[in-house]
Structure 1
Amino acid sequence: MKDFVKNPLPQSIPQSLIDKLEKVETATVGHFMHSVFVDRDISATDASKRVAGTAVTLRLAANDSTLLHDVISTLRPTDILLIDRSGDNRHACWGGVVTNAAAICGFKAGVVDGPVTDVNEIRQNDFPMWSRGRSSITTKLYAQSGAFNVPVSIGGVTVNPGDAVLADESGVIVLAPAIAEEVADRALDMQAAELTLIERLKAGEPLGAITGASAMVTERL
């Protein structure tokens, strides 16, 4: 049995779809989908960031980040690296040196199902990052095992290489490429409708009257 698996990078999703997804709020998708959301404890280091891109996946052993160091500089500008930590929530596989390598390489963002360290350095490099908080205990280069571009589990969601990923202040969602465009279009339509609703609120209409909630309550009094 091989200790390491390294598969090729997946096909990138089209730039036009990435551009469209980056106009979508994950919370809008939450109005009509449920299973595509990773655990809400995986949150943004910088809540001002919203990114979309192609899922590139990595599974690491609990305390070993050898394969991360090996592949970090090979990613493309359209890629988001999602790291399955094999259930470990103690060791930070991502810190200042890895952040600098990622920023210099220029790929889109990172999502770690575990903690990170050197948060100030992540922010100073303006690198979009999502994680389960912080840890001062780091992984080491033990050359134990790892797998690159295989199906992984991130926050309870199965992620396949080549999936579409959208991450923002509210969370991270993973979409199969076959449905990503449809989801984006539906969300953008809802966001446009929300702007109209807000204008009606500003004009003096009560929210309950606009949404129908007040009529529903009245029927049941």
Structure 2
Amino acid sequence: MNDINEKSDTSDNNRARASRLDTATLSDALDRFGIVGQCTGIKPRDAGFRLCGRAWTILYGPPTTPPGTVGDYIDDVPEGSVLVLDNAGREDCTVWGDILTEIAHRRKIAGTVIDGICRDVSLCLSLGYPVFSKGHWMRTGKDRVQVESMQVPVNIGQARVMPGDLLVGDADGVIVIPRVHEERVLAAAEEIEAAESAIRAAARAGMRLDEARREHRYHALQTKVGA
């Protein structure tokens, strides 16, 4: 996996490490420690989209009377962050559209992850701005949902996300690495990646795949510690 937005925060070494790993490898590392960080059902709007950054979270809820806003927060989000929007998985109205995409892209935000849907997909595709969601549809969230709170714990595809957690997204979906566990998860993922690279190299050199896998403990790479 290529480095993703690494230059926007060169002081964050773990973010740079995460940007070099794919979600499949990180998923195996999470499994090793029994951590649920795989965001079920959250997919990129384009298979080429990739993101890596720290979570800046928003929780949505039902509207008040009169209703609050869906999204007047964008200018407060730091460059390089991943916007994480918890709309309780709703697919009947959106919380992200073309104005937010344009400004987020201009402000060099790393991407947007939504437990719910977005709209105006054509702009995120043309700009190359990464949006990951359950789907897309045109119906507005105005007067249907509102921002409940910001920078609080949220849920994305059955995975808990805290402000500042690392998120990585690619063609396979989105992974959340809890900040409190990121050092050991990243170390395990790097070990898994090295083992799989060694297996491929051995197979290319003529070794039988089953032998290469056995030599590098392929079938136990993701096994839960203590199992």
TM-score (normalised: structure 1)? 0.81
Residues 19-50 of structure 1, C-alpha deviations (whole Å, 9 max, x = no match)? 111001110122232411111x2101232233
Q: For structure 1, which runs of at least 5 residues remain unmatched after alignment?
A: 1-11, 214-221
Residues 49-85 of structure 1, C-alpha deviations (whole Å, 9 max, x = no match)? 3322111110113579954521012111221111010
Correspondence 1:33 to 2:34: no
Correspondence 1:53 to 2:50: no
Residue in 2 that maps onto 1:21: 18
Residue in 2 that maps onto 1:111: 113
Q: Is the 8 A contact 1:62 1:86 kept in 2?
A: no
CA displacement at 1:202 relative to structure 2: 1.2
CA separation of 1:63 and 1:168: change in aligned 2, threshold 3 A = farther
The amino acid of 1:81's aligned partner reads L
Indicate the structure with greater strand content: 2
Looking at structure 2, the residues matched to 48 and 57 of structure 1 have their Cα atoms a distance apart, in angstroms, of 24
2:177 aligned residue (175, 178, 193) = 175
CA separation of 1:207 and 1:103: change in aligned 2, threshold 3 A = same
Higher-Rg member (1/2): 1
The percent identity for this pair of structures is 26
Q: For structure 2, which runs of at least 5 residues remain unmatched after alignment?
A: 1-8, 216-227
Residue in 1 that maps onto 2:220: none
1:202 aligned residue (198, 201, 204) = 204
CA separation of 1:212 and 1:60: change in aligned 2, threshold 3 A = same
Aligned residues: CA RMSD? 2.5
CA separation of 1:36 and 1:103: change in aligned 2, threshold 3 A = same
Count of aligned pairs between the two proteins? 201
Residue in 2 that maps onto 1:186: 188
Dislocated runs of 4+, deviation >3 Å? 62-68, 141-145
Q: Is the 8 A contact 1:26 1:166 kept in 2?
A: yes
CA displacement at 1:134 relative to structure 2: 1.3
